[in-house]
Amino acid sequence: MMAAYDGIRIFRKIIPHSNAAVAVEDLVYWLLSGVCIFQMLYQENSGAIRGFAIAAVVLGMLVYLQFSKIVKKIGKKLHNSIKKVIINFKSF
């Protein structure tokens, strides 16, 4: 889920968004994420919210935050490459 959000952030860097568009995208993302987590917990734990499941989600988020730094660097390089191509295309 966090990788999907990183994809959204990269998309926002490539195509600038208004504050309203960012708010709508975030709302849709968090609603879908909440539904997915609820569905997973319901199916896997028979509807019971268990501490280890919440701990696993939190731990996964913390681990991905470290991995996310790498994803951000790749996104920044991708953004700069696309920007260069567009600038070169315009000067053509």
- All structural domains of the chain with their residue ranges: 2-90
CA-to-CA distance for 88 and 84, rounded, in angstroms? 6
pLDDT tens-digit profile, the chain (92 residues): 877 887 888 788 788 889 999 999 999 998 998 898 888 888 887 777 788 888 888 898 888 888 888 877 887 888 888 888 888 887 76
Residue whose C-alpha is closest to residue 53's, from 63, 62, 64, 42: 42
CA-to-CA distance for 68 and 91, rounded, in angstroms? 34
Entry pTM: 0.60
18 in the Ramachandran plot: left (φ > 0), alpha (ψ -120 to 50) or beta? Answer: beta
What percent of the residues of the chain are helix, what percent strand, and what percent coil, each to the nearest 5?
A: 85, 0, 15
Enumerate residues 6+ apart whose C-beta is below 8 A from 46: none
